Amino acid sequence: MNYKYMRIQGRENSYITKYPKGVFSLCWNLIRDNQLTDEEKELFLSIDTWFKENLPEPEPCKNQEQVITFFKCESTVEMLEKLKPAVALLDQHQKPYDVVYTNFVGTIVYEDNWQIAVQVKDGKMI
């Protein structure tokens, strides 16, 4: 089966969206909670920097609107490789997450070549 979209998400909800936090939020929480070594922190910060330099940040995300993002499966092979070390940090620190593949998302409010942002309300895509 071919899927259009993919998201790596935790099992705890964002206070903004009430939807499970994405991979970047999960890693930032590890930093906030002082769970990473200096080397691990440096590794994640380099990954975060790479994404900020190579992917546009969706305007709704910048504005902290109630949206979640998905990667487009067809165009994100390189990005998924870049994310592997961040996911490994989640594994090392026993931070549970799920990899979700889907063709069904709610209202798309942002789209570029690599990702989409979808509206959520009360923890559900709308």
Note the pLDDT of residue 126. 87
pLDDT at position 65: 87
C-alpha to C-alpha distance for 93 and 4, rounded to whole angstroms: 30
Question: What pLDDT is recorded for position 56?
Answer: 87
Residues 36, 44: contact at Cβ < 8 Å? yes
Continuous segment of H or E residues that includes residue 8: strand 5-13
What is the token pair recorded at 30?
Answer: 């590890």
Q: Supply the pLDDT for residue 73.
A: 93
Kindly report the backbone phi and psi dihedral angles of residue 27, in degrees, each rounded to the nearest multiple of 5, phi listed first. Answer: -70, -40
Q: At what angle do helices 23-32 and 77-92 cross, to 10 degrees?
A: 40
**Rg of the chain, C-alpha, whole Å:** 14
pTM across the whole model: 0.92
CB 60 within 8 Å of CB 110: yes
**pLDDT by residue for the chain (126 residues), tens digit each?**
899 999 999 999 998 899 999 999 999 999 999 999 999 999 999 999 999 999 888 989 888 889 999 999 988 888 889 999 999 999 999 999 999 999 999 899 999 999 999 999 888 888
Predicted pLDDT at 78: 83
Q: Into how many domains does the chain fold?
A: 1
Q: Which residue range is the domain that position 31 belongs to?
A: 5-125
